[in-house]
Amino acid sequence: MPSPLKSNSMQQNISDNTVNNGVIAAVRGSIVDIIFNQRVPAIHNIIYAQNRQITLEVVAQLSNQKVRTIALSATQGLARGMVAEDTGGPLKVPVGPSTLSRMFNVFGQAIDGKEFNSEIASRSIHHAPPALTNISSELQIFETGIKIVDVLCPLERGGKAGLFGGAGVGKTVLLTEMIHNMVSHQQGVSIFCGIGERCREGEELYREMKQAGVLDNMVMLFGQMNEPPGSRFRVGHAALTMAEYFRDDEKKDVLLLIDNIFRFIQAGSEVSGLMGQIPSRMGYQPTLGTELSSLEERIANTINGAITSIQAVYVPADDFTDPAAVHTFSHLSATLVLSRKRASEGFYPSVDPLQSNSKLASSSVIGERHYRVAQQVRQILAQYNELKDIIAMLGLEQLSIKDRDIVTRARRLERFFTQPFFTTEQFTGMQGKFVTLEQTLEGCERILGGEYDHYPESALYMIGQISEAINTQTDRSNEPINGAKNER
């Protein structure tokens, strides 16, 4: 005779396998309340309604029979009294090599118009962060091939870097260039997660990556801005599940690009408002810190491989004290601040060298030479920044010889840090350049040493390594050499 314990577990298994249907009690936009008479679904369970056309996720248990759900798809046609079916599990997305070169939505459905085998292995989007015992403590530099990033704010392998900037300063372009360089030079896997993206941007990115020949080692997921907030709120978790497969099972390095992490916070704010939660500071959800941590803490460098994440962060009204920007800052190991002023002056990438920083920028991590060059570059650019007001009022001629040398070298450094990108070749007509850290450090040292003081500033604009300026100098030998006559 079976023991009572075994008997109870058998009854539980039988009841778990039975169909658990409920009835819709209320529909308020994307929030749907459902009553279940058999058993209450667990938090994060997926519930289907209207012949599986509408997908809902349980976010709260209101009583021993009633649950509150958030819609992951549009709720048009949903009405009280309709039957809802509990799937008994959370949302799952496909994982594995067959996802490469494809484009998906939050449900793991291919949206690139091609056939996709939906029978492949799938995993829940809700995972715990890796255990502390599995996290690697070794600090390694992630080389991007972008000069100003590698020298002044080096990225950490397995770390998180933020791209801060308002609209139109080049966040998406910088992200796509890093995808190209990761796939082309580091033989890793790139995953692009578009949260609240325009459908036009997704289509353009897909086409550009295909033309660049890097699509074969890339996966794209999109929660478009016209989709319900629940879909945008969960697409980041879906992308991380795919990234974790390549890191833990395939033991590969993964570059996870998120554009835009602010839209994730914004979607959470919409969900919170729909749930009726009391808003916190500046109208954000009271659970902002917890929700962001549940996503960010899954990005880590483990003994198997690393997920390196670069996240575009829209800064509302360019206000860096906004709670969304402040909470995101706390998770990042490097910060790239994009300057609207530099973009307007034609300095691309428009990374602000004085506001951008990295926790890795110490001599014990990046080495004595790299640290010394970075400090000298920052110092000379900061001094030039202070001298700009004097130059505007009195002119360059009123400065001392020492200050004039600072201005000359700072202006050449600014132009040397510009770089033509592979992903913008069709717009600029200039061939993209990948510059190694060693080549960039050499160029900075030669400019700081005064070797290029007599070259026209234009000779160093939009080049790769410093040796390319020699050819440019030959072609433009008739241009004025004095930096004051070359003011932009």
Question: Tell me: the pLDDT tens digits for 180-203?
Answer: 887 777 777 899 999 998 888 888
Q: What is the pLDDT of residue 471?
A: 52
* Max CA pair span of the chain: 102
Predicted confidence at residue 103, as pLDDT, reads: 93
Which contacts (CB < 8 Å, 24+ apart) does range 361-367 have? 361/152, 361/153, 361/154, 365/139, 365/141, 366/141, 366/154
Which of these is catalytic: 68, 157, 171, 415?
171
Q: Is the pLDDT of residue 26 over 90?
A: yes
pLDDT tens-place string over residues 419-438:
999 888 878 889 999 999 99
**Environment class of residue 116 by beta-carbon count within 10 Å: exposed (0-12), middle (13-18) or buried (19+)?**
middle
Res. 13 pLDDT band, cuts 50 70 90: very low
Mean pLDDT (the chain, rounded)? 87
The whole-number pLDDT of residue 118 equals: 76
What's the average model confidence in pLDDT over 236-253?
94
pLDDT tens per residue across span 28-81: 989 999 999 989 999 999 999 998 899 999 999 999 999 999 999 999 999 999
Amino acid type, 477: S
- Six token digits for residue 236: 């980041």
Contact present, 22 and 86 (Cβ < 8 Å): yes
Question: Above 50 in pLDDT, residue 480?
Answer: no
Instruction: Give the pLDDT confidence score for residue 15 in this predicted structure.
Output: 43
Catalytic: 147? no
Residue type present at position 215: L
Q: What is the DSSP string of 25-82?
A: EEEETTEEEEEESS-PPPTT-EEEETTTTEEEEEEEE-SSSEEEEEESS--TT--TT-
| Residue 350 vs residues 13, 168, 176, 223, 423: alpha-carbon distances, Å | 59, 11, 15, 27, 16
Per-residue pLDDT at 472: 52
Token pair for 379? 């110092």
Q: Which of 80, 198, 341, 485 is catalytic?
A: 198
Task: Report the DSSP pairing between strands 46-49 and 54-61.
Answer: antiparallel
pLDDT of 79: 93
157 is a catalytic site residue: no
The burial class, CB within 10 Å (0-12 / 13-18 / 19+), for 133 is exposed
When pLDDT is averaged across residues 214-223 and rounded to a whole number, the result is 89
Assess whether 412 carries a catalytic annotation: no
Nearest to 65 by CA among 89, 44, 37, 42: 37
What local confidence, expressed as pLDDT, does residue 485 receive?
A: 37
Task: Give the active site residue among 57, 156, 177, 197.
Answer: 197
